[in-house]
Structure 1
Amino acid sequence: MNRAAIYARFSTDLQNERSIDDQLALCRTYAEREGLNVVATFDDRARSGGSVMGRDGLLHLMDKAREHEFDVLVVEALDRLSRDMDLAGIHKRLSFLGIEIRAVHEGVVNTVLVGLRGLVGQLYREDNAHKVRRGQAGRVKKGLHAGGLTYGYSYVPGDPGKRLIAEDEAEIVRRIFREYVDGQTPRDIAHNLNRDSIPPPRGRAWNASTINGNAQRGTGLLQNELYVGRLIWNRVRMVKDPDSGKRVSRPNPKGEWRTVEVPDLAIISPELFEAARERKKARTITHPSHQRRPRHMLSGLLRCGACGAGMSSNGKDKSRRIRIRCSAATESGTCPDPKTFYLDTVETAVLDGLTTELRHPDVIAQYVQTYHEERRRLAADTNARRTRLERRLGELSREIERLINAIAKGHGDPAVLGPQSTTLNEERKCIVAELDQVPAATGVIALHPAVLARYEEQLNQLQIGLAKGIVAGDSESAEAMRDLIETVTVFRDPLRIGGIEVEIAGRLTALLGENAFPNGVKGVWGKVVAGEGLEPPTPGL
C-alpha cells in the first residue's frame, strides 16, 4: 500500500479554522477509497497561496519528501498548494523525488494540469488585486477612505470608508500645529503630550517621528493634508518580495496620486497648515548620519540603563565636555530616570573594563572551549549529512543495477524500466554533486592560531587608543573599539567612580556567553555569530 501525505491550507481571506479539518477529512476519505495509507498531514493556517515563503507546513512537507517518507501527496485541489506559477516548481521537485500528486477533484496531476492551474491561479490573484484597487479608487473618488484610521477621526458604524472628526483628538491635532508654528520642536511637543498623559495614535508614547514623519512618503501629523480637508490616496503601493514573501511598501510617482477635496473633514485652517509646512522646509536638513562617519568612539552604541532607549549628545558644559542623555527622555520625556552623563567618563569606563577583562585567562580559556564545542557540533552535523547522502547513493546504485539487470535478462518491459532507471540516475547525479560540496568526515578542528593572534591584535589597538586618549576625530582608534562592541548600556551608580556602571555587549561573548567576564564587566551579547575581528571564516563549516 502506497504511503500518502495530506496537505491543507486556508488563506488570509478565508479565516476559517474549520476549513483545515474539512480538507483533511475529505482527503482522508479519498485516500481510503484509493487504497492509500495516510502517514502524515501538513497544513498552513491563514497563509496566502501566492508564495511558498512563510508557509511552514509546506516547507516541512518538502523536507519530508526529500527524506522519502511518503509516495503520494493528496490535496483537495491544486490551488491549496499554490495560486502562483511556482506550482510548477513544487510539482517538478516532487516528481523528481518520485512522489505523485493527487487532487481529490482532479485526480492524478500531470504537467499540463499543473501549468494550467498555476497560470489560472496567478491570473486570478492579479485580477483580484486590480479589482480591489479599482474599488478603492472608486471609494476615494466619493470622498471615502480606502485605508486605516487617521488620528483625529473616527469610524462611522455601518458605513465603511466614512469618517467623522473625533473632537477630542482633533483638539490635540490643532495643539500640535499651533505649538509647532509657535516655535516648539517636535521633541518638545511630544514631551509635553506625554507629560499631559495624552494617548498617542499607536504605541505607548508620543515621539518626534510621530509628529515629523517622512517627507518623501508624506507621513507624520505635520504633513497630513487630510487635516485641511484634502484626501490623498495612492502615495504608496505594496508589492510582494518573491524571495521573502513579505509585502514591501514602494512610493508611487506624484503623478499617480489621487487627491479629493473633503472640506467637511478639515480640522485646521489652510493658513496654519502652510505656516507649519514653511517652518518645516526651513528646518529640513540632511540627516548627519548620511554626511559623515561616527564622530565619537561610542556613537550609536550607547543605551540607557533605565529604559533601554538609545543615548545621544546633549550639548557641552563650560569646559567643553560632551554630555549624553537618554533619547527617550529627549524625544518624548518617557524615561523613568533621565540622568545626564559625561561622554568621556563612559568612554574611559568602557576602555578600562575591556582591556582588563578581555586579557583575563578565564576569558581566553572560555573562548577556546566554546570554539571547540561549536566546531564539534558543526562537524557532527556535516558528518551526519554526508552519511545520509552516501546511504541514499548506495540505495540508488543498487536499484539502478537491479533495473539494468532486469532489462538485460528480459525480465521486464524496457519501455517501462528504462525511464525508471533514467529517473533514478538523475537523482544519483544530484546526490553525487551534493556530496562534492560536503566536506569529508572529520574530527575536532584545532583552534587556528590566527584566531587568537587577531584577538590579541584587537586588544593591542585598544591599548594604543587608550594611551593616546581617544578623542573625536581619532577614527582609527574608534574603529578598533567599534570592531569589538555592539552596545554599551549606561547605568547610574553613585557608589562607583564617575557615578556610572557600564554593561558592554559585543562580539566576543557572541561565542562565550555571559560567563566570559569574571571580574564584573557584564556581557549581554545580542548576536550569535562571531564578528570578523574574532574568528576568520572556515570554508565548508
Structure 2
Amino acid sequence: MPKAYSYLRFSTPEQAEGDSYRRQMAAALDWCKRKGVELDDKLRFHDLGKSGYTGANFTEGALGRFVDAVQAGEIERGSYLLIESWDRFSRQNAMTSTARLFDLATAGITVVTVDDGQEYSQERLTGPDVSPMLLLVVKLSQAHLESARKSNNVGKAWADKRERARAGEHKLTKRAPEWLSLEDGRFIERADRVEIVRRVFRETIDGYGRRTIVHRLNEEGIPNFRAGENRKRKPTGWHASSVAKILTNRAVIGDFFPGTGSTRFRTYQKEAEPIRGYYPAILDEDTYWRAQAVIASRRRVTDDDGRVVQRGAAGRRGSGVSHLLTGLGRCSICHGPMHIINKGPLPRGGLYFECDTARRRAGCDNMNRWRVDEIERRLLKHLTYIDADAILRGEASHGEFEKVESVKARLADAEKRRKNRAAMLEAVEDMDPDSLARYRELVADVTALKAELAGAEKALAQTAADPGLKARLAEAVDLNRAMGEAEGEERTAIRVRLAEQLRQLVEMVDFHPELSIIAHLKPRADVPADQVPFTYDSGNWRLELSSDSEPHGIDPDIFPEEDPDAVRAANAFFLKRRLAKAGGAS
C-alpha cells in the first residue's frame, strides 16, 4: 500500500531542535490525516546543513537517499513525498529543479507541498491544464532567486570585510588563536601561553618529537590551552594533536587565512593567500620555517612507484632517545629497514641492528647483527662536518645554512599556493580580477623567493670556506667527550640534538653482511668541492663504517683525541692528500 514520506530540511541545529522541526512535522501529519494516507515512520528523510541552493541535499543528503530508495523499489509507485514548500525541496535554478521533480513523477511519486496543499503527479504535470506547470516554474524560480540574492549579499558583505581586514581596518571575527585574546578590537598576547608556543617550536627544532614534547609538558604539570574553560568534559592534559596544531598554525608569524563556508558543516575553505600581519607575530619567520623543515625531514616519502625516497624518522623513541639513527638503517640485500632489537643488559647484551625482513624469515638471508653503539661511535668519528658546537649549546653556529632551509620551505609553500590559485583560475571561464591579481602576486612572490634562495646559497658557500669548517672534526671529538661526561637530562638533551643533526646529515646507513657498512650522506651546499667527504672504495658523500677503517683515511698515529690542535693538523694533512689525489686523477 502506498504511503507518505516526509522530507524535512534545516539550515542549523537550532532549527532542527526548535519550532522549524515541529512546524514541518505537524504540517505533514495534518495533510496525512486529511487525506487518509499513512505516514511512514520507519524511513525518515531529514537533512541538517545540506544546501538546497547547491543541490547538496540531492547529491549527498537525505533527498538523494529517497531517490535511491525509489529507484531500488523500496518505496512503491503511488507514494507521496511531503515537503513544506518548494524551497525545502530545492533552491537550484528552475530547469535543474523541475528535472529532479520530473524524475520522481515519472517513477510514480507524487510530490506534495503541504503549505498550500498542491500535489504534483505525473498525470497532473502532463495533463492539458498548464497552470500547475506554470505555478511550479514560478515558485522554483522564486526560491532560487531569493537564495541567489541572499548568497550574493552575504558574499559581498564578507568580501568587503576581508578586504578591510587585508587593509588592517577590521577584525573579521572575535575568535583568536589560543595564545591571544581580542580586547577593544586589538589582539593581546597571553604571555604564559606565548612562552609555551615558543617552547614547542624550540624543542621541535632541537629534535624532540611531538609525543616527547607532550610527555614533558604533562610531566611538568603545564595546563593545556583548554584548561579552565567551561566544558562538559574537562581536558586531560596535552595531546600530540594539540602540539601538531600549534606547529602548523601560521598565526604564530601573524598570518590569517580568511575563507568561506561553515566549519560546523565542514564546508569551510581557506583562501590561498593569507592576510599578513593580521595577528601579532610571536615568532620570527625563520624559526617557523626551520621547524617545518625539521618536521618534513622526519616524514616517510615515496615516489609514484611506491619506492621510498626518504625514510621517516617519526615514531616513539622513549624519554632517553635509545639510539641516534632512527629510521636511517637499510639492509643492502633486500633494501628493507633495519630494526633495533634489545638483547638485554651489557656487557653480554645491548642494542643491535637487524634486518626486519630476515628477522621475520620473509625472504632475506642477511642474518647478521651489528651493535648500535659501535655504529654510532664509528659514524661520529667519521663525520667531520657535524655541527657539534650547535648541538652542545642548542643554537646554530651557521645561520646561513638555516637561512637556506627556511627559504626553501617558504618557496615550497608559495609554489603550492601559486599552483592552487592557477587551478582555480582554470576551473572558471570568467576570471575574477581580484583572483587574477592575487595569482600575479604569488608569481612575483615565487620569483622573489627564488632570488632570495640563490643569494642565501651564495652566502652559505662563502661561509663554508671559513677555516671553522675544517675544525669540525675537533668539535666532534669534544662532543664525544661531553657525551661521556654528561648524565641524566643533560645527556638526553645532547643526544636529542645530535639525533636531529644526524637526520640532516645522513640519508641512510647500508648494512651488508659481507662487504661493509656504508653511511650515505646528504650532499650539502655549504661544503666546498675540495672538502666533500668520501670513502676511497665507495665514492663521494659516502663513509665506510667497517671496524678496520679510519676516519677519512687519517693515519691513526696522528689522531690523538686528547689534542685538538693535532686533530686540526691531521685534518689539514688529509685534505692536502685528498687534493693531491684529485689533481693526479685529472
TM over 0.5: no
Q: What TM-score comes out, normalization by structure 2 length?
A: 0.41
